[in-house]
Amino acid sequence: MFEMRARPDLASPVLVVAFDGWVSAGSVGTTAAEHMAGDGEVIATFPPDLLFDFRVSRPTATFRDGRLDAIAWPALQVRHRAHHGRDLLVLTGPEPNWNWQAFAAAVSRLASETGVAEQVSLGGIPWAAPHTRPTDVVTTSSRPGLVGSDDNPPEGELQVPAALAQVVEQQVTAAGIPAVGFWARVPHYVGSTYYPGVLALVERVARHTGIDVPLGSLVDDAAAQRRQLAALLENRPDARRMVERYEELAEAEGEASVGEDFTAEIERFLRDQTEGP
């Protein structure tokens, strides 16, 4: 299920996992993972024929002067990047169509063989959140005590359609490796990569792991996108009123008092997505 291309010496490595697909609003998880991986060496790959329906996740054909030059297949790979005494292993790519349990078992075995100390899952949740406020990050963990008391775990029982990241986490924790998840709440009206959410996830991973991840242009990218959204709202009074309403909800004293409003907004969002193209 996977091929090891290199076996570097690793110091207390952290495995960061993010996939395109479900729970990937604003592409925040995969973009944050790609940023953290940088130009790191590819140390493991997974065979696409075992994982993808190519009628759904089609490879890309490149032609040059009318001649077929190359075909790029959907790729899932693990990259290694060292950060001042602690290593990152980053697994990212499109969410596979097939063999989730076998894939997750393979990731668990890879994590055990490379001495992974902790797994971190990343993703984005579409939410009734205004872009004018700091990005809220919801946290999950495989056991108590892995995240701080000031974090934001969901309370009570919550049932949602599972993402591959959760299947991987289940297999990895069964092997005795602790796992946490960081899920950025992304304004549902942003259809492109949401850089404030990317920045929030990178900073949250750095704070949790103690790894000083360079931010590069993320701060400027996030600020520029907020300015662009503000400019767009100037000519859209309906959208501006919606964002103002979300700001009021964000400033409320607790989610319990505005939960029905949030639920109604999310239900409308999901209904629009299922009824649309």
**pLDDT per residue as tens digits for the range 88-114:** 999 999 999 999 999 999 999 999 999
C-beta of residue 95 within 8 angstroms of C-beta of residue 155: no
Mean pLDDT value across residues 261-270? 52
Strand ranges inside 13-157, DSSP E = 14-20, 41-45, 60-64, 67-72, 77-83, 86-94, 118-127, 137-141
Give the separation between CA 53 and CA 44, rounded to whole angstroms: 21
Mean pLDDT value across residues 41-59? 95
Q: Which residues contact 138 (CB under 8 A, 6 or more apart)?
A: 125, 152, 153, 154, 182, 183, 184, 185
Instruction: Work out how many domains the chain is built from and give that number.
Output: 1
| Strand 179-187, strand 118-127: pairing | parallel
Per the listing, tokens 């995969």 go with 30
**pLDDT per residue as tens digits for the range 159-169:** 888 999 999 99
Note the pLDDT of residue 276.
Answer: 47
Q: What is the CATH number of the domain that holds 205?
A: 3.40.50.10900
Structure tokens at 224: 């520029």
C-beta of residue 199 within 8 angstroms of C-beta of residue 218: yes
Note the pLDDT of residue 277.
Answer: 43
- The strand pairing partners of 71, in sequence order, are 61
Exposure string of 227-246, with b = 16+ CB inside 10 Å and e = fewer, is: eebeeebeeeeeeeebbeeb
Give the separation between CA 26 and CA 221, rounded to whole angstroms: 14
Nearest to 42 by CA among 86, 93, 84, 117: 93
- The strand pairing partners of 120, in sequence order, are 16, 180
Note the pLDDT of residue 206.
Answer: 94
User: Is the confidence at residue 253, as pLDDT, over 60?
Assistant: no
Mean pLDDT value across residues 204-209? 94
Note the pLDDT of residue 258.
Answer: 43
Radius of gyration of the chain (CA): 20
Over the chain, what is the mean pLDDT? 88
**DSSP 3-state percent helix, strand, coil across the chain (nearest 5):** 40, 25, 35
Nearest to 188 by CA among 237, 222, 229, 141: 229
Note the pLDDT of residue 272.
Answer: 58
Give the separation between CA 58 and CA 53, rounded to whole angstroms: 8
Alpha-carbon distances of 17 from 10, 49, 120, 133, rounded to whole Å? 17, 21, 6, 26
Domain span at residue 96 reads: 3-275
Q: Taking the CA of residue 123 as centre, how many other CA atoms within 13 Å lie in the half-sphere pointing to its CB?
A: 25
